[in-house]
Amino acid sequence: MKFKSYFLLILIALGLNSCNLDYFQDAEFGDFVWDGSLAIPLGELDYTVTELFEELDDGTAVIGPGEDGVVTIVYEEEIDAQSASDFLEIQDQTFNEEIRSNQTIDNSPIDITLSINETFEFSFTSQGDERIDSLYFRQGNFNLFVNSNIAHPSNFTLTVRSLIENNAVLVVQGSTGPFGTFQTEQSMADLTGLLHQNANGDPSPNTFVIEVDYEVQIPAGGSIAPSDNVAFEFQLRNAEYSDLFGYVGQQSLEFTAEDIEFGFFDIFSGGDLGFADPKVDFVFANGFGFPLGIDYSNVSATAKSGATINLSGSITDDFQVVNAPLIDGAEDVVETTHRLDNSNSNISEIFSSQPSAFRIEVASMPNPNNGPAQYNFINELQEIAANVVIEIPLDISMDDLVANEGFDFKNAEDLDQAKRALMRVNATNEMPMGGILEIQFLDENGDIIYTIDERPVFEAAEVGPDGRTIGAAETVSEVLLEDADLRQIEGAARVNIRARLSSTDVEQGASVKLFEDYVLNLKVALQADVELTTSGN
């Protein structure tokens, strides 16, 4: 019995003695490491045509649906014309006349009153071929200077037929002593100028009429010679009008020249781009009471190459008429639109040159020969404004058009956890425009350190007979980055995406319309072998 007990105890002792814990000797815990592979949808990008081109634009253009829902790039600029007061100024006027006695009296036996009455017509000086019938003065002064070289006192009355004050002809009365003078000054504010008829009442624009009544008091024993006279000088100074009627002539009305910068095209660096139906609308709002003729021959664009392309075509052959309100609707503003398009200009050529700037420089002439003949008027508060609207509908053809878009790459350091990455892009494209993309990773110096070679990422959708695309083109593209590739990309500071864009059937010379409701959907998925550690190393 004892033997068996001892045997079993020895067996147990041996079992205990056989403890082997070597596995746990000197062992320490290392970092937790997870080195799995995740396949995950990163997300979606939905681009409408508008959004896609807004990405390409520098923000100066307005991009949105235009006629028939075709996305249109719109630039708008206002150009200013001269104001009424700058365009038509009232010249300072000076009217001089000397009234002789034309009488000989020696030692008059009695007191005699010598009366002289004369009416004078003066030419109202104007600019160019202006013909002023009437005007309302807003400000200004007239001055009357009278200088008598007669040795007797005299009284005079000036009836200024061409100036109306309070619905009556302006009358100035005064007197002078022997060899005396007279001077007066009066504001012309609220006076009306009637310059439309001569002293006989016959029509005669630019005519200023003054009637003078002059009396000389010759005492008994007094004498007067025929050459004795009284000199009158009538001045209009600094006159400004509120309304003017007549004919403003054909002197130039100036518009400021404007340059529209086209940042939109800066991103394109190669390939061909054609716009099928661009338009430029000049919209004039004319409050002046005379028509204008616009000369567009100085409109031009600076092409990407630096060359200047002048606007040409029938639109530049003659003055284009801007209509004006008639006298019956003097306060109206009449709008006239001049459209520059393929039918009358080379505007397609201009915009297909991917211009960096579009220069709006127009000359104008009132009362053009090819315009309507109408009575002119002008109000100091009225103006003529011009709004230039450039509409470039995306009715385009693109043939390997190269677009570049760059952005900072801020997540490079996160790549150290990735050992292999397969990026898959599922594109569903309703647009008749395909893209072949190349992705360049640049270091802080701007040097390319890694390039994902170009590959078709979204193919162009087919276009149906109605000009709209038929369904959507689906494209799957993949980028596989092995560990060595990822290590290179880790040093990137910027990413440049270089896209070669081509429209559907461009090789047949077709242009396509990009409608607002087209969507390019990019589903980006990633399968990445990653190694995560608790220490982050």
Considering the complex, state which of residue 99 and residue 486 has its C-beta at the smaller distance from another protein: 486
CA angle at residue 498 from 495 to 501, to 5 degrees?
150
Considering the complex, state which of residue 414 and residue 517 has its C-beta at the smaller distance from another protein: 414
The minimum distance between CB 402 and another protein, in angstroms, equals 23
Q: Which of 359, 468, 494, 523 binds another protein (CB under 8 A)?
A: 523
Please give the structure tokens belonging to residue 453: 């070679």
Residues 408-427 that bind another protein (CB under 8 A): 411, 424, 426
Applying CB under 8 A, does 480 fall inside the site for another protein? no
- Residues 456/477, Cβ–Cβ less than 8 Å: yes
Give the span between the Cα atoms of 57 and 438, in whole angstroms. 20
Q: Which of 10, 12, 13, 480 binds another protein (CB under 8 A)?
A: 12
The minimum distance between CB 253 and another protein, in angstroms, equals 49
Give the span between the Cα atoms of 131 and 161, in whole angstroms. 18
Give the span between the Cα atoms of 317 and 295, in whole angstroms. 8
The minimum distance between CB 39 and another protein, in angstroms, equals 4
Residue 448 to residues 368, 410, 421, 439: CA-CA distances in angstroms? 61, 16, 20, 10
Residue 39 to residues 36, 84, 395, 423, 474: CA-CA distances in angstroms? 10, 72, 40, 10, 21
Residue 349 to residues 220, 302, 313, 410, 420: CA-CA distances in angstroms? 93, 12, 11, 41, 49
The minimum distance between CB 240 and another protein, in angstroms, equals 58
3-class DSSP state of 315: helix
Considering the complex, state which of residue 52 and residue 452 has its C-beta at the smaller distance from another protein: 52
Residues 13-72 that bind another protein (CB under 8 A): 15-16, 18-24, 26-46
The minimum distance between CB 409 and another protein, in angstroms, equals 12
DSSP letters spanning 401-444 = EEEEEEEE---GGGGGGEEEEEEEEEEEE-SSEEEEEEEEEE-T
Residues 143-182 that bind another protein (CB under 8 A): none
Give the span between the Cα atoms of 313 and 179, in whole angstroms. 72
Residues 440-479 that bind another protein (CB under 8 A): 476
Considering the complex, state which of residue 220 and residue 532 has its C-beta at the smaller distance from another protein: 532
Considering the complex, state which of residue 45 and residue 497 has its C-beta at the smaller distance from another protein: 45
**Best CA proximity match to 58, nearest among 259, 261, 258:** 261
Binding-residue total with another protein (CB under 8 A):
46
CA angle at residue 507 from 462 to 48, to 5 degrees?
40
Considering the complex, state which of residue 3 and residue 201 has its C-beta at the smaller distance from another protein: 3
Which listed range, 95-103, 220-228, 494-502, 523-531, lies at the site for another protein (CB under 8 A)?
523-531
Which listed range, 75-83, 272-280, 288-296, 521-529, lies at the site for another protein (CB under 8 A)?
521-529
Considering the complex, state which of residue 5 and residue 200 has its C-beta at the smaller distance from another protein: 5
Considering the complex, state which of residue 34 and residue 375 has its C-beta at the smaller distance from another protein: 34
Give the interface with another protein as residue ranges (CB under 8 A): 1, 4-5, 7-8, 12, 15-16, 18-24, 26-46, 411, 424, 426, 476, 523-527, 529
